[in-house]
Structure 1
Amino acid sequence: MQARDALPVAPLAPASALAALAAVGDQRQQAAFQRALGGQLGKTLQGQVLTRLGDGSAVVQVDTLVARMRLPAGIAPGAELPLKLIALTPRPTFELGVGGARVTAEALPAAALASLESGAAATHSAPDPHAATLSRTGQLLGSVLAAAQQAGQPARAVTGAAPLLAAPGADATRLAAAIEGAISKSGLFYESHVAQWSQGQRTLAELATEPQMAGPRPGASTDPGTAQFISMQLATGEQGALAWQGQLWPGQPLQLELARTEVERDAPDERDGQKPEPTWQSRLRLRFAGLGEISANLALTGTQLHLRIEASKEAGPLLHAHAERLSAALTAAGTPLATFAIDGRADG
């Protein structure tokens, strides 16, 4: 169990504004909260009551997490509570060590955490006007990023655990579905998929195919391996880019990079009243025994597809010979090539 990063606050008076913020659910934060507790099921964690809200509920710190709970009457701010995690869904549920009462926990929105921390700062005398502080969420993310750095070489791509296909020779539809499934079920989008599940848009069986549901990730959120994965999730959301590597079929390595580039505001299309289309860029790299390394670089804006293939000089003539076949297949699929180029390299 990780040492608690206690928030140094004095007992606060009930705050109606904070209670209103806490009442606003954030499914993504709740999903992240459940995931952080995934490896603690059945364990007894130490909790501390930070404050009571105007609606009678309480803000409780559980290890490095902060949640809203409806505790029995008489438990005052500052009280230490042994909390046994007995369930994760539909809400994390704890059994109190005193009296055996059961309480559910709800993640607090970031705005509520910021209000709580601001209220705590206001209770201290002679505050330093130049002091800068991080919110609880910011502190947690900072600890995750620091732990990711401890893992040494940063993880830059999600690694597939098994080949996407059993053997070569699959048609384009099966190949596309296999790649799409690998990206979707990589775990990078697990929290958004949990939110969709809570809205009835996904089944539990679909969630079960992702790594977070295959079993609790070892350690807490500050375990270096887990922290690296969370760091990749944050980078994917912030930069709109991801990388995947693994085997297309047994013995055939594949590297895939995807990125989405938004058009800047005030672009010509937007000034004309039309919303500009984002550009999807991808790079697919394969190495074949007879052809060497082949890299396909694609850029898709709306229905405009630009393709550039980089290959060895030995493979270039073969690719040129089948270029018309590729162009015709893409046109038949509804995505004609706007530009197409094959670049030869001296290194095979």
Structure 2
Amino acid sequence: MLINDEIQRQVLPTIVKATAATPGGDTEQRSASQLAMNPGQQVKAEIIATLPNHMYLARIAGELFNIELPIIMEPGQAMNLIFVSADPRVTFQYVPSNGAESIRFTQVGKWLSTVVENAAPLLPSGPLVEDPMQGADLIAARLREALVQGGLFYESHLAQWAAGNYATQELLKEPQGRLSKTEAKEDADPAKVKQERADGATFADPSTLSLVKEQLSMLRSGLLTWQGEAWPGQDMELVVSRDQGEDGEPAIQANLAVELPQLGAVQAFLKISAEGLSVELACGTPEGTRQLKDGAPDFKAALSSVGLYLGRMAVKDVES
């Protein structure tokens, strides 16, 4: 398992995202140096006011923040938080009132900060396909496989598996699942392993720290990012996030960026909601823009053939 049971049970549900609140009601981000807080430092949060959607206005280290909490609080109450990071978003961790648990959470907060600062970037295993002529269907299937089986959602899949809604073989395809096969080594000292876990020495397998870093980044930013090669030599970047449609209903937004030999730099901005699919394409060359516009009817027909309604499509130059 990537993050042990203690971390899953205590840490993940207690992450507190915070946004600095300015007198005008706008929000801004602060760096760790501006906040004068060190990762792992315990601070007191005083609740000033209750806001909609489980949000609170709180005073932390002399600054006002809008924060979302996993517990119900009233104005005038206070609690302890652990400062985790300010990059890319100010993040705290809720600390239970029990003193022993506070010490435990401080250790975990410091460990999380170390992972964020020192772990290497998460690298893809290889190109999605060996040849672009293998077709878009295979590229899409391989991309889905990379996202679903890459380990970022392992804990969620584990919960589904425990409820009987996720296949064991699918779980074992993920990096953490593959580790579970070799977790119990014959030469391991059971007493030593038990003591290490009790002391918190094995928060995660060292070989998966890059994945832990990516999970924490996604947890804080709300962005699912994939960077790799669509085929050998063809870099691709995909960023997926939650959004809202024009009617306020939930929507998914995806930004795709590639550099193609004939079209040049191409960026695709997609939004999927109950209203349908909205697509905006930006191309790096005038000729590429013309080709994309000429291909728009075929693109719309291809989407319609798989049951997707294209509500809006726009093509423009990158510079415009």
Normalized against structure 2, the TM-score is what?
Answer: 0.57
Shift of 1:202: 2.0
Question: 1:145·1:231 contact (CA, 8 Å) conserved in 2?
Answer: no
Q: Check if 1:333 corresponds to 2:306.
A: yes
1:288/1:301 Cα in 2 relative to 1: closer, same or farther (>3 Å)?
same
**Equivalent of residue 228 in structure 2, options 243, 246, 252:** 246
Amino acid corresponding to residue 162 of structure 1 in structure 2: G
- 2: CA distance, partners of 1:136 / 1:291: 54
Q: Check if 1:279 corresponds to 2:247.
A: no
Partner of 2:137: 173
Shift of 1:148: 2.1
Q: Check if 1:233 corresponds to 2:215.
A: yes
What SS is found at the alignment partner of 1:316?
Answer: helix
What are the equivalent positions in structure 2 for 1:77-92 lying under 5 Å apart?
Answer: none
Percent of pairs with identical residues: 29
Q: Check if 1:296 corresponds to 2:278.
A: no
**Equivalent of residue 279 in structure 2, options 287, 307, 312:** 307
Shift of 1:225: 7.4
- 2: CA distance, partners of 1:244 / 1:30: 27
1:258/1:33 Cα in 2 relative to 1: closer, same or farther (>3 Å)?
closer
1:222/1:180 Cα in 2 relative to 1: closer, same or farther (>3 Å)?
closer
- 1: CA distance, partners of 2:150 / 2:234: 19
Question: 1:256·1:284 contact (CA, 8 Å) conserved in 2?
Answer: yes
Question: 1:148·1:225 contact (CA, 8 Å) conserved in 2?
Answer: no
- 2: CA distance, partners of 1:205 / 1:31: 24
What SS is found at the alignment partner of 1:159?
Answer: coil
User: What count of residue pairs does the alignment treat as equivalent?
Assistant: 216
- 1: CA distance, partners of 2:108 / 2:223: 23
Name stretches of at least 5 consecutive residues in structure 1 with no aligned partner: 1-27, 35-109, 121-132, 270-275
**Equivalent of residue 152 in structure 2, options 178, 181, 188:** 188
Question: 2:234·2:259 contact (CA, 8 Å) conserved in 1?
Answer: yes
Partner of 2:53: none
Question: 2:278·2:311 contact (CA, 8 Å) conserved in 1?
Answer: yes
Partner of 2:111: 143
Q: Check if 1:209 corresponds to 2:173.
A: yes
Partner of 1:63: none
What SS is found at the alignment partner of 1:245?
Answer: strand
Shift of 1:335: 2.0
1:164-216: CA deviations, max 9, x gaps? 12321344433322211111111111111122222222222212221223348
1:298-339: CA deviations, max 9, x gaps? 011224211111112231111111111101222232222222
Partner of 1:316: 289
- 2: CA distance, partners of 1:32 / 1:222: 9
RMSD: 3.6
What are the equivalent positions in structure 2 for 1:50-199 lying under 5 Å apart?
Answer: 114=96, 117-118=98-99, 134=102, 136-137=104-105, 139-151=107-119, 155=121, 158-199=122-163
1:231/1:310 Cα in 2 relative to 1: closer, same or farther (>3 Å)?
same
Shift of 1:255: 0.9
Shift of 1:297: 0.8
1:162/1:345 Cα in 2 relative to 1: closer, same or farther (>3 Å)?
same
What SS is found at the alignment partner of 1:235?
Answer: helix
- 1: CA distance, partners of 2:172 / 2:166: 11
What SS is found at the alignment partner of 2:125?
Answer: coil
Partner of 1:105: none
Name stretches of at least 5 consecutive residues in structure 2 with no aligned partner: 10-92, 183-200
What SS is found at the alignment partner of 2:254?
Answer: strand
What SS is found at the alignment partner of 1:182?
Answer: helix
Normalized against structure 1, the TM-score is what?
Answer: 0.53
What SS is found at the alignment partner of 1:285?
Answer: strand
Question: 1:150·1:224 contact (CA, 8 Å) conserved in 2?
Answer: no
Amino acid corresponding to residue 340 of structure 1 in structure 2: M
- 1: CA distance, partners of 2:132 / 2:6: 38
What SS is found at the alignment partner of 2:132?
Answer: coil
Shift of 1:291: 2.1
Amino acid corresponding to residue 294 of structure 1 in structure 2: V
Shift of 1:282: 0.5
Partner of 1:6: none
Shift of 1:346: 5.7
What SS is found at the alignment partner of 2:133?
Answer: coil
